Structure 1
């Protein structure tokens, strides 16, 4: 069981940040992958439903969950489709019927326990209620640990990802060099994000023994924050959506603050061997339509639509695209018998495409036989 996000509390921003990292975990074929001590599962943290306290408070005051009913169903659906352990985070002594119905939905529990081929489904299109057309194909994104700094987001990604390229040394006359990356073009000029390159201070005689092999490694400091260095694994606990300087902490001699710049223009973490990337915080927002897919033991196809926007959205998928992803083993014809899991409605036989109007921050889950 791998904890792949920060702490999750009952606000939509926390919930929505799980979609990108969960998609990456699935794309890497880590859901249910066999390891030395069993299989791997993505731990998305507890479900903050029902009767709760505020973050960091152990003993009251207590309050009801701040998530709407639609938001709770969306969270339960993502956790189930990703096969995350379902751990209830509320007070069981005050379990209301609505919360109980979400937590014990038999189809969602079946998906969580028995389903296979769990992954994000990228072939969906979405329209808002104002009929504004959105992109039909959602681009997959690698896990990013967001760090907000002057409107920018710094993250970690695979070094094979194109987003990891483009870092370079920017010399400073008489001062320490900067490590920079161009992230956008504004009025015909390149705009760069830069951090100061500094030599790590050795803390002890034991550290000095490693000095020889660490000549190529350096700290990256924030110019306007005293004693703050880029940290590939900030140790303090945080919520999933918290973005304020998540990857910066007090400078010290530790592998998680050591970085190397290779010939390919990758800024490599000595701690994780992942590479740094940067983008505008506007681009890093988690919005729009998302979809997940999974299969059951009797040929069922489970298709979940998620609306991450604050307005209603019509989301559509074509049955032919289900075949592209799952093959003819599960999609034998271009018509499917369909029911919606949360409402229990039987939608009959659907041909060519599957479509639904989804509430803001809500979801629908289809059980299909094709």
Structure 2
């Protein structure tokens, strides 16, 4: 019944649909970033934090072959790509991360062998770009607890040496704010003091490194919703606006977000989560209806963003072949939503013009799921509908 109700209100919700537009504008064709809601694939729903270079590239190749022609252009490595996959390591463990001499996270070379000798994600990005796609990474707030405890020096990207100010060198313990640790990863990361030149220098060194690697998309976690840090968001946005290549800026997770809170950040970013994690339960899907209504009524959909537009994000689509949240192994189960529930989710996400980030393992993509996430009517609605509001029946 849910999918039938959605179909009934579809054209009331989507006031106008521009016909004859078979191709989404891409960043290469326009200086406007995120001119339409971004689409892509993200590793979290199928691999949690354990994905390897081989698994990532296998999925990227299949996105290029099967989804790129339907507007899916980003392939995103989700969190903890710097954590060593060894005994004792988990989502909130401490001391298992790979960091450089400046306290910056770098890919675990055992999982990402092409990153050795300081290459980072450069070779991964080159391979993704050769496929005609764009590459993204998940990053956390501020500085890691591991770097704080090691008291690593801060890099000054202008000199290539340790940051100096007021006649002294600055270190991680000078800029980290332990009282502002990430609420859902207490052992992981904390805010840095952006009022300090050294704090700003550290953040600048992070995002310039990502740009040097060839990253096109950053998903910035633990700075929005319950973990709101306007200072860090504002400074990162400033850095990204100054970098001489387009990098889309996404905020996550977004628990307890209201339209009022979103107005403070929407012009600084290109997409931002307005819900907690969405998994494959009907309760998770159903909770998005009222949130979608409120953000549509507040005219937040497609508002001005970082050098382009910004889009409220209902989270990834946990469809197809998945894993379980917080586990240390990869995809091993089917989506728990029945087909009507999956159709309802895909229809709602499309009508609300949410970014569409598919989370299932591309190596095990069944035809039913493929047909759903590439449905041409939904794709057109997601890109080109306007004035989308909840209908009164």
Q: TM bucket by the smaller chain?
A: 0.3 to 0.5
Considering Cα pairs closer than 8 Å and 6+ residues apart, tell me whether 1 or 2 has the greater RCO: 2
TM-score, structure 2 as length reference: 0.31
TM-score, structure 1 as length reference: 0.32
- Where is the strand percentage greater, Structure 1 or Structure 2? 1
- Where is the helix percentage greater, Structure 1 or Structure 2? 2
